Amino acid sequence: METLRAYLNGLALGKQRDFAASCETSLEYLRKAISKGQKLGPALSVLIEINSAGAVSRKNLHPEDWMKIWPELNSKATAA
């Protein structure tokens, strides 16, 4: 979540709101989730990765369970 916090903090407030909207959520929800250490859902995590151009990855948002949610990411890493 620290990567997401840093990413958001690197954007101007208007861009933060635009980013959240492009992720189909609100900036307030993202800030609350970050502050509480709340797990984000898989769909939102994918949207964050896409809309941050990979700066905030699904693996980063789900360090303990990304292998269970997206097993195909593990096979890509071993194939590379």
Output the domain CATH number for residue 51. 1.10.260
Q: Examine residue 1 and state whether it is found in any structural domain, yes or no.
A: yes
Taking only the tens place, the pLDDT of each residue in 52-73 is: 999 999 999 999 999 999 999 8
Identify whether 17 is part of a domain: yes
Count of structural domains, the chain: 1
For residue 25, report the phi and psi dihedrals to the nearest 5 degrees: -145, -170
Q: C-alpha distances in angstroms, 18 versus 21, 40, 75, 79?
A: 5, 18, 33, 35
Residue 25 falls inside a structural domain:
yes
Does residue 79 lie within any of the structural domains?
Answer: no
Closest CA to 23 of 42, 37, 1, 3: 42
Within a domain: 78: no
- Does residue 50 sit within a domain? yes
CA distance 80 to 67: 16
Question: Is 23 domain-assigned?
Answer: yes
pLDDT in tens, 29-51: 999 999 999 999 999 999 999 99
Give residue 18's domain range.
1-73
